[in-house]
A and B are shown apart, each in its own frame.
Chain A
């Protein structure tokens, strides 16, 4: 049972990254690979500051800002230099590896015996349950904030930017600035995932971001299957599904591992799993009409 609780907790840690990928990929139609770097950046900033015993009230906003900064870089490269968004993301991600390494000073920072977000509130004696409560509270606040944002006038123009650029320019929105803001928000959320995960696993690692974009992508794709299935258009419900997608994703992965698959194959299994979700609807569709 603990096995699945851990998966649930990991899924909650990844819900911010899933929301971030949802914003960059689904709202702005930008495949943003900065994710790998900004996730590790969030972890690095968290590791460095918490191990020096800075207060969480300072660490959290700094993590969010650092992620936003990474997103702004990608956004500026994409909009001002007119470089393909995929390449812009790869450039920033590559640069971030060095930045993260010099921030951390070494490749791993353990956080044992330092106070974290999960020891801030003691709602239960069971360590894991306590973590669950704190994470649930955190994710609900985050979810409400993003839902509110997307429902405001600003949020509507954000959604229109990815949907119909010609229209929203004619209605007075600077689409370049809007894309930069969107990437900033998306990467800020990604860094927050790094913040949550670093404290959950008890260390920051320079390689923690490798391949993490697939986790966000997988979550969004799982959510999308349900969104199309039930024809959902409510923003809050869609975001809830995206976050559930992150949890389902982790649960499926731990199920696979519990079946006895070698942990070294985890990334392979992850990639195959995403491939299966993406291709499943198409395969069944083709069979029907052949």
Chain B
């Protein structure tokens, strides 16, 4: 599904402040796998996610999704395969647009946005049903600007928006970092359910040890631009929070 061959990323190459953010990463994620990426600040995990999304261009190596070489394809063209949930709820939604309009755009992630009115009754009905599944009472507020909602509500809606259109890979960039514990749990539950229900291939970067244990079918730890641990499903189930805590010390 996702395959990275010898991916490297160098910032400010040849200057005094040269940073080797990723060093020769080889990683392959199978279909339906939910990969959790942990690591200290500056370990390169966000760069890894951004390279897959296309918002950062890698310096060396090859990147495949669904067997297709993505090369230097810009982020807005990769949206055909990749959906993203950002760390900051503000980045994943357009605050001044209504919930309905945000969902309309998400439903068109893989297709061109044409000069016709796409928000019709059947679309409204579809969004209403989807939003109702969150049981947040938002289904009656679809015309409200999404910016008037709380961070947790917006993040849960962003997740829902990602499955409005076909996707091969779901990228979650610390989706709960900006949320209070209760909202965080709700968002993670929503994410877990969607990944299971739609059999999604997902990649999540997190700093939350509890989340990294409770979710995902595989865990990797990054350090100084390299993958230093790769824990598969069965081993992962036996892991304790204290084990992971020690990895960081």
Q: Which residues of A contact B (CB under 8 A)?
A: 148-149, 151-154, 156-157, 159-160, 163-164, 166-175, 233
CA distance A148 to B114 in the complex (A): 12
* Complex interface: stretch among B19-27, B77-85, B181-189: B77-85
Given contacts A152-B117, A170-B79, contact A164 B145 (CB under 8 A): no
A-side interface mostly: helix
CA distance A169 to B91 in the complex (A): 10
Among A157, A160, A168, A170, max chain B CB count under 10 A is at A170
Q: Check B115–A152 contact: CB distance below 8 A.
A: yes
Contacts of A154 in B (CB 8 A): 113-115
Q: Check A164–B94 contact: CB distance below 8 A.
A: yes
Q: Check A167–B92 contact: CB distance below 8 A.
A: yes
Interface string of B237-248 (1 = CB under 8 A from A): 000000000000
- Shortest B120–chain A CB gap in Å is 11
Chain B residue at minimal CB-CB distance from A233: B145
Q: Check B116–A153 contact: CB distance below 8 A.
A: yes
Interface residues of B in 141-190 (CB under 8 A from A): 143, 145
Q: Check B109–A167 contact: CB distance below 8 A.
A: no
Q: Check B76–A156 contact: CB distance below 8 A.
A: no
29 contacts between A and B (CB under 8 A): A152-B114, A152-B117, A156-B101, A156-B105, A157-B105, A157-B108, A157-B113, A159-B101, A160-B94, A160-B105, A164-B93, A164-B94, A164-B95, A166-B55, A167-B91, A167-B92, A169-B55, A170-B53, A170-B83, A170-B109, A171-B106, A172-B79, A172-B80, A172-B111, A173-B76, A173-B113, A175-B76, A233-B98, A233-B145
Contacts of B66 in A (CB 8 A): none
Contacts of B86 in A (CB 8 A): 166-167, 170
B-side interface mostly: loop
Partner of A168, one of B53, B94, B96, B115: B94
Q: Does B90 contact A (CB under 8 A)?
A: yes
Q: Does B32 contact A (CB under 8 A)?
A: no
- Shortest A157–chain B CB gap in Å is 4
Contacts of A167 in B (CB 8 A): 86, 91-94, 105
Chain A residue at minimal CB-CB distance from B143: A233
Q: Check A163–B94 contact: CB distance below 8 A.
A: yes
Contacts of B101 in A (CB 8 A): 156, 159-160
Contacts of A175 in B (CB 8 A): 76
Given A152-B118, A173-B113, 20 additional A-B pairs, CB 8 A = A148-B117, A153-B105, A153-B114, A154-B113, A157-B105, A159-B97, A164-B90, A166-B91, A167-B86, A167-B92, A167-B94, A168-B105, A170-B75, A170-B79, A170-B84, A170-B92, A171-B79, A172-B76, A172-B80, A233-B143
CA distance A279 to B217 in the complex (A): 57
CA distance A233 to B141 in the complex (A): 13
Q: Check B110–A163 contact: CB distance below 8 A.
A: no
Chain A residue at minimal CB-CB distance from B82: A170
Partner of B116, one of A152, A168, A170, A174: A152
Chain B residue at minimal CB-CB distance from A27: B96
Partner of A153, one of B82, B96, B113: B113
Contacts of A173 in B (CB 8 A): 76, 113
CA distance A151 to B102 in the complex (A): 13
CA distance A154 to B119 in the complex (A): 12
Contacts of A157 in B (CB 8 A): 105, 108, 113
Minimum-distance CB pairs A-B, first 10 = A172-B79, A160-B94, A163-B94, A164-B94, A153-B113, A166-B91, A157-B113, A153-B118, A170-B84, A169-B76
Interface residues of B in 20-77 (CB under 8 A from A): 53, 55, 74-77
Q: Does B128 contact A (CB under 8 A)?
A: no
Among A153, A157, A160, max chain B CB count under 10 A is at A153
CA distance A270 to B143 in the complex (A): 37
- Shortest B171–chain A CB gap in Å is 9
Contacts of A171 in B (CB 8 A): 76, 79, 105-106, 108-109
Q: Check B97–A160 contact: CB distance below 8 A.
A: yes
Q: Does B104 contact A (CB under 8 A)?
A: yes
CA distance A64 to B145 in the complex (A): 33
Given contacts A166-B86, A170-B53, A171-B109, contact A156 B97 (CB under 8 A): yes
Q: Check A163–B96 contact: CB distance below 8 A.
A: yes
